[in-house]
A and B are shown apart, each in its own frame.
Chain A
Amino acid sequence: MADIKGIFRRLGVKFMYLLALTLVFLVPVFYMMFKSGIIETIGKKIPIKEGTFVEADGEIKIKRPESR
């Protein structure tokens, strides 16, 4: 039992180091993807729109959903 626990613990430690190393490698990949247009490709699939703002009594307010 103690042996099995030990094996799992060692595997867990190895996994964490692998994860940490992957994160370091992902940093440059992250920046290269930033310029690759991936943000637009994925963003366009997400159903979020820009807000519509109106000037009411000199103050700028978002057009609320009920008035759309």
Chain B
Amino acid sequence: MPEKTLINSHSRKTSVFLTALMAFLLAFLILGGNRDNPRMMAAGAVYLVFLTVITYLIFRTGMVGKYRSIFFATYAVGFSLSFIPMLIETRGSMFLSGEEILSLSAPLCHLTLPMIAIPAVVYGFLIFPTKLFSEMGFFPMLYLWLGATLFLGRGWCSWGCFYGGVDEFFSKLLPKKIVSSKNFNYTLRFFPYAFLLVIVLWAFIALEPVYCTWFCPFKAITEFIKPTNWLMWVQTGIFVSIFLGLVVVLPLLMKRRTQCGLFCPFGAFQAVIGQVNPYRVKIDGEKCTKCNTCVQQCPTFSLTEEAVSKGKSCISCTRCGKCMDVCPRGAIQYSLIGVPLRNSEKGGGFFGEVFRPDTLFIFGALLFGGVLSSGMVSTSLLRITNLAVNGSFLLK
């Protein structure tokens, strides 16, 4: 086998420069926002150090998939450790009660956006019980989504989504696959698109956020309505089963992100709308030997033999970088639409490295994800410290 070329690696000088710039911007955005809260500032500083180390490792080694994954899983764990105790502090439990719904206090997440869009346009109101401008309300989430789409496209699902890191976390726990995906039926990756269509139409007809009511597996780590009748017990059974099956067990056994690759309708939505983002993942046909290592390893089933022969990943690609880590020929790279693929044998010097498509994408994506995750991870750090000192996750 030829020696592996790490296509995304940078010289030490460029890596130090990019890391210093990232640390400066993150410090400005993360610490600057917490000036009046010294405890959050201290926790933010710890997270800043973590992000700085991750930045250096990504740029220097070129192992984007590996080190991004550490960041992304940390983000998801931080989200869970901060969100559930926050609910317990504010309402006493994870349950979403009628009171919260009537007072529009349910936090909205991006997964609801495709469902609530058509009723909002047609009838002019939200079918989800949230406020328009509260911290986790409709307009802040819409703004966040617009930014994510512009900056990351479907890269949102590997650099920004606070749920995506959960199945990524479980997919990393075991050292080896237990279930091989050699005979995997790749037609299954079209399911999220069909599912998206169904829930958008169903939500419009029923005027109800049906994905949240029936399917969302992440209710298991956020909030859900306490079941009081048989129908609610069925709904609870469904989302808990999807969580256990697609977010925990299958990622563990297959080492793939089965929820994100084969189920999430928002992922499908983002794959289509995210085409406005100018980055793509392309395969250099001259270098590729069709060994299909990347096909076997892509966490979201976004590479097929057909896609490899066409020289590009499928639209579901989350720009995670894993295929680039594992390609023994360095044939896969981040590219910009209309820009010829880069010849990795050429060094390019300092400016050549800084202005590479992979550098620009990774820098923007990590900056976006780093700031977005900072509040949740910092709060979870405070909670862990509180647990160690006072024996409780709760801060109030």
Residue numbers of A with Cβ under 8 A of B are 9, 12-13, 16-17, 19-21, 23-24, 26-28, 30-32, 34-35, 39-40, 42-43, 47-53, 55, 58, 60-62, 64-65
Q: In the assembled complex, how far is the CB of residue B33 from the closest CB belonging to chain A, in whole angstroms? A: 7
Does B104 sit at the interface, judged by CB under 8 A?
A: yes
Report the bound CA distance from A60 to B151 in whole Å: 37
Stretch at the interface among B129-137, B266-274, B283-291: B129-137
**Contact residues, B199-254 vs A (CB, 8 A):** 207-208, 228-229
Does B143 sit at the interface, judged by CB under 8 A?
A: yes
Asked whether, in the complex, the Cβ of A27 is within 8 Å of the Cβ of B367, the reply is yes
| The 10 nearest A-B residue pairs measured at CB | A43-B139, A20-B360, A24-B364, A16-B336, A49-B125, A51-B126, A60-B101, A30-B147, A27-B367, A65-B123
- Interface residue count for B (Cβ, 8 Å)? 48
Q: For A9, what are the chain B residues with a Cβ–Cβ distance below 8 Å?
A: 338
Asked whether, in the complex, the Cβ of B133 is within 8 Å of the Cβ of A43, the reply is yes
A20 touches which one: B102, B124, B278 (CB < 8 A)?
A: B278
Asked whether, in the complex, the Cβ of A43 is within 8 Å of the Cβ of B132, the reply is yes
Q: In the assembled complex, how far is the CB of residue B116 from the closest CB belonging to chain A, in whole angstroms? A: 9
Asked whether, in the complex, the Cβ of A50 is within 8 Å of the Cβ of B132, the reply is yes
Q: In the assembled complex, how far is the CB of residue B206 from the closest CB belonging to chain A, in whole angstroms? A: 9
Known: A34-B143, A53-B129. 16 other contacts (CB 8 A): A16-B336, A26-B150, A28-B25, A30-B151, A32-B29, A34-B140, A35-B33, A43-B132, A47-B124, A49-B125, A51-B125, A53-B101, A53-B102, A60-B98, A62-B127, A62-B207
Report the bound CA distance from A42 to B143 in whole Å: 10
Would A49 and B367 be within 8 Å (CB), given that A16-B339, A17-B339 are in contact?
no
Pick 10 A–B contacts, CB within 8 A, sort by A. A16-B278, A16-B337, A17-B336, A20-B278, A26-B150, A27-B371, A30-B151, A48-B126, A50-B125, A58-B228
